[in-house]
Amino acid sequence: MMSKDVVFDLGGVVFRWQPLVLLQELFPEQVRSEDIAHEWVSQIFETFHPEADWALFDLGRIEPEALALRIAARTGLAEADLLRLIDGIPAHLQPIPGTVDLIHELKAQGHRLYYLSNMPAGYADHLMRKNAFFSQFEEGIFSAHVHQIKPLPDIFATAQARWPVRGKPVFIDDVQHNIDAAEQHGWQGIRFETPDQVRKALRGRGYLGA
């Protein structure tokens, strides 16, 4: 089998990212239903668009205290609660076992693996310190380290310039507009739903044996 290149998003693909669950766990008295959780998620994260307050955090342009202050001023949510949420996210980002297995499987078959993640520096440092499987990746880019962010095209150009990617690497992400941006850059995209679904898609493209 010919060696190829695979690029992974991290949050929601390699690591659990369930903000509705997280909010209900952290604030059971205030977030008493899934509807309330949806409302908080919408207000806090603003669908992670590139001009959102949270995007500034992912870009490494503001620290947690400034992020909490901005969101509190915009939404009326308590600054202390927002800081608690920001501080609670690293522990929430637990590895997804099926994806970790897939990473090892792809590496064992000789493919080169990379990651491309919207992530503030503090979270990035935590994840790399806690998870030995980062050794399976050739290289990776966190948005905070380059001050660029998905789905804007410059972060894909930076990745292409830094990494010796061959042909059209496969990019695995759980957000459709990031997939769209990667495909516009000339990469292939697989929208992550489950590890098994991605494994089947990779097998269909010749990245894994039958």
For 99, the token pair is: 């994806």
Residue 194 and residue 123 share a domain: yes
pLDDT given for residue 166 in this prediction: 86
Residue 188 and residue 115 share a domain: yes
Last residue of a domain, which of 57, 92, 127? 92
pLDDT given for residue 200 in this prediction: 96
pLDDT given for residue 84 in this prediction: 96
Q: Please indicate, yes or no, if residue 62 is contained in any of the structural domains.
A: yes
Q: What is the DSSP secondary structure assignment for residue 92, as one 8-state letter? A: H
Q: Please indicate, yes or no, if residue 176 is contained in any of the structural domains.
A: yes
pLDDT given for residue 210 in this prediction: 62
CA pair distance 43, 25, nearest whole angstrom: 18
CA pair distance 172, 206, nearest whole angstrom: 15
Q: Please indicate, yes or no, if residue 37 is contained in any of the structural domains.
A: yes
Residue 111 and residue 152 share a domain: yes
Place of tokens 């739903």: 193
The number of distinct structural domains making up the chain is: 2
Q: Please indicate, yes or no, if residue 10 is contained in any of the structural domains.
A: yes
pLDDT given for residue 167 in this prediction: 86
Do residues 199 and 109 touch, judged by C-beta distance below 8 A? Answer: no
pTM of this prediction exceeds 0.85: yes
Q: Of 205, 149, 200, 198, which Cα lies nearest the Cα of 173? A: 198
Last residue of a domain, which of 92, 121, 138? 92
Do residues 12 and 178 touch, judged by C-beta distance below 8 A? Answer: no
Last residue of a domain, which of 41, 64, 92? 92
Q: Which CATH number fits the domain that encloses residue 114?
A: 3.40.50.1000
Residue 185 and residue 111 share a domain: yes
Q: Please indicate, yes or no, if residue 70 is contained in any of the structural domains.
A: yes
Residue 121 and residue 109 share a domain: yes
pLDDT given for residue 182 in this prediction: 97
**Domain range for residue 45?**
19-92
Residue 73 and residue 26 share a domain: yes
Q: Please indicate, yes or no, if residue 73 is contained in any of the structural domains.
A: yes
Residue 12 and residue 30 share a domain: no
In 64-192 the beta strands, taken as DSSP E runs, fall at 112-117, 139-142, 170-173, 188-191
Q: Please indicate, yes or no, if residue 88 is contained in any of the structural domains.
A: yes
Residue 72 and residue 123 share a domain: no
Residue 195 and residue 106 share a domain: yes
Residue 106 and residue 12 share a domain: yes
Residue 125 and residue 150 share a domain: yes
Residue 113 and residue 10 share a domain: yes
In the chain the beta strands, taken as DSSP E runs, fall at 5-8, 112-117, 139-142, 170-173, 188-191
Mean pLDDT per block of 10 residues along the chain (210 residues) reads 91 96 92 92 85 94 96 94 96 98 96 97 97 98 97 96 92 97 96 98 88
pLDDT given for residue 50 in this prediction: 79
Residue 71 has phi, psi (to 5 degrees) of -70, -40
Q: Please indicate, yes or no, if residue 81 is contained in any of the structural domains.
A: yes
